[in-house]
Chains A and B, each alone.
Chain A
Amino acid sequence: MRDRPAFPRTTCDARSTRVPSRSAPYPRAVPLVVVDTSISLPATLSPTGLTRKFWVLLAYGALAYREEHLRLELDAIEAEAGDDGAIGGRDAIESLIGVAARRRAALAELLPPDAPAGWVAAGSGYLFDEYERKAIDVGPRLGRAIDREEAARLRRQLQAICVAGPEPFAPTDAPALTRDPADDPIVYTALRVGADLLISDDRDIVPDRDAGTQPYQHADSSILAITFGQLVDEHLHDVDWSAIHGDLLFEAHRQLPD
Chain B
Amino acid sequence: MPRTAAAPELLTVAQAASLLKVSDKTIRRWIDAEQIPFLRLPSGSYRIPQGALLASLGGTYDLAAELAALDARSAGISEDDVRRALDEGS
Residues from 52 to 67 in B contacting A, C-beta threshold 8 Å: 52, 54-59, 61-64, 66-67
Q: Known interface pairs A49-B78, A77-B49, A89-B36. Does A250 touch B64 (Cβ–Cβ under 8 Å)?
A: yes
Interface pairs A-B: 4 shortest CB-CB? A194-B2, A49-B79, A89-B37, A42-B79
Segment at the interface with B among A1-9, A151-159, A234-242 = A151-159
Whether A104 is near chain B, meaning CB under 8 Å from some CB there, is: no
Interface size class of A (residues with CB under 8 A): 35 or more
Q: List 12 A-B contacts (CB under 8 A).
A: A16-B6, A32-B4, A73-B5, A80-B39, A85-B39, A90-B37, A92-B59, A128-B19, A141-B88, A142-B85, A165-B19, A250-B64
A52 pairs with B79, CB closer than 8 A: yes
B6 pairs with A15, CB closer than 8 A: yes
A191 to B85, CA, bound (A): 28
A129 pairs with B21, CB closer than 8 A: yes
How many residues from B make CB contacts under 8 Å with A?
A: 60
Q: Known interface pairs A88-B31, A88-B38, A125-B19. Does A77 touch B8 (Cβ–Cβ under 8 Å)?
A: yes
Chain B residues within an 8 Å CB radius of A69: 5-6, 8, 51
B2, B19, B20, B52: which contacts A92 (Cβ < 8 A)?
B52
A47, A128, A168: which contacts B15 (Cβ < 8 A)?
A168
Q: Known interface pairs A16-B8, A153-B69. Does A77 touch B2 (Cβ–Cβ under 8 Å)?
A: no
A96 pairs with B64, CB closer than 8 A: no
Kindly supply a per-residue 1/0 record for chain B positions 24-42, scoring 1 wherever the CB is within 8 Å of any chain A CB and 0 otherwise.
0000000100111111111
Q: Known interface pairs A73-B8, A88-B40, A221-B2. Does A157 touch B52 (Cβ–Cβ under 8 Å)?
A: no
A163 pairs with B54, CB closer than 8 A: yes
A230 to B11, CA, bound (A): 35
A138 pairs with B63, CB closer than 8 A: no
Whether A231 is near chain B, meaning CB under 8 Å from some CB there, is: no
Residues from 70 to 107 in A contacting B, C-beta threshold 8 Å: 70, 72-73, 76-77, 80-81, 84-93, 95-96, 99-100
